Amino acid sequence: MLSRFFGHRRHDLPSLSEQQILALAISSEEDDARIYLAYADGLRDDFPQSAKVFEDMAEEENSHRQSLIDLHQQRFGSQIPLIRREHVKGYLERKPDWLVRPLGIDKVREMAEKMEEQAYRFYTEALKLVRDASTRKLLGDLAIAEKAHESLAHRLGIEHTPDAVQRDEKQTERRQFILTYIQPGLAGLMDGSVSTLAPIFAAAFATQDTWQTFLVGLSASLGAGISMGFTEAAHDDGKLSGRGSPLKRGLANGLMTAIGGLGHALPYLIPDFWTATTIAALVVFVELWAIAYIQHRFMETPFFRAAIQVVLGGSLVLATGILIGNA
């Protein structure tokens, strides 16, 4: 949680100068071209025709990059500032292709569609911030080009039918729901469930006073929920990433963080220490497995890996709190 407060500083897109906006567009087109070529390389053996599509897409991105460089030279000279996506708020992080191999056609198609959507969002927002006529024209043309790209499904040789269109619409709706509610909610549930384990169980075994333990759990859960909710809302306005309303994401994150901590704090309203602790431990067990299931169900994380990460990590934090409380 603290890393989200103290990570490297990112700038808002409106704070960039027109030269910096052009530099960001140039580096983004360069990155996209390299990514498409990497996808082509990963697909070439099993899907040679699809690999050719991504090679053509890389050529398109390179032509966009050259147009942007020419404009930058005309307006600002040959020295292009170094500014990349990771320096600007709102961009979704993209994993290098070697982290997501082996590349399947469905996975690559999904990632490429996200790239095109985000490129369109960037040019649309950047267009609102520039005054120079030539820059506005180029950014507008690039926004139209990104939006007017043939359907990637069609370009990969997949026939469009009314049923396929409906499936695509449902997939888009589901992806938006995951980005706006599930992803921030899951992050909050994980943080609230795991980060509060140590202080709650340390307080329980140190004092063996159920009321004092409940107060510790209540304060830790609500404090974490407030901080995580505000951080999520301020972290990304959703304009470039397409993750939706920051208010909705902040509420989902904050509420689930608080719920994650309160789940094993509420049992300590029971006066008997061992009864309360047993119930709290059972609640922790259910919480950790629920997190693993949600990761598998919505984030497509292999269930075994999700279980190892969440349950093992949570168990270690729980054991830490018990050991400190008994010290």
Indicate whether this model's pTM tops 0.75. Answer: no
Terminal CA-CA length for the chain? 26
Tens digits of per-residue pLDDT, 256-308? 989 988 988 999 999 999 999 999 989 988 888 888 888 888 777 787 887 78
Average pLDDT over residues 56-81: 92
Structural domains of the chain in order of their starting residue, each with its CATH number? 10-160 (1.20.1260.10), 168-325 (no CATH)
Q: With beta carbons less than 8 A apart as the criterion, state whether 307 and 289 touch.
A: yes
User: Residue 129 CA to chain centroid, in angstroms?
Assistant: 25
Mean pLDDT across 137-165: 67
Calpha distance 200→219 (Å, rounded): 10
The predicted model gives 7-36 an average pLDDT of 86
Minimum mean pLDDT among 20-29, 76-85, 246-255, 317-326: which range? 317-326
Mean pLDDT of all residues in 75-104: 74
- Among positive and negative, which fits the CA dihedral 36, 42, 43, 45? positive
Q: How confident is the model at residue 6 (pLDDT cuts 50, 70, 90)?
A: very low
Alpha-carbon gap, residue 238 to 247, rounded angstroms: 10
* Residue 173 burial (C-beta neighbours within 10 Å; 0-12, 13-18, 19+): exposed
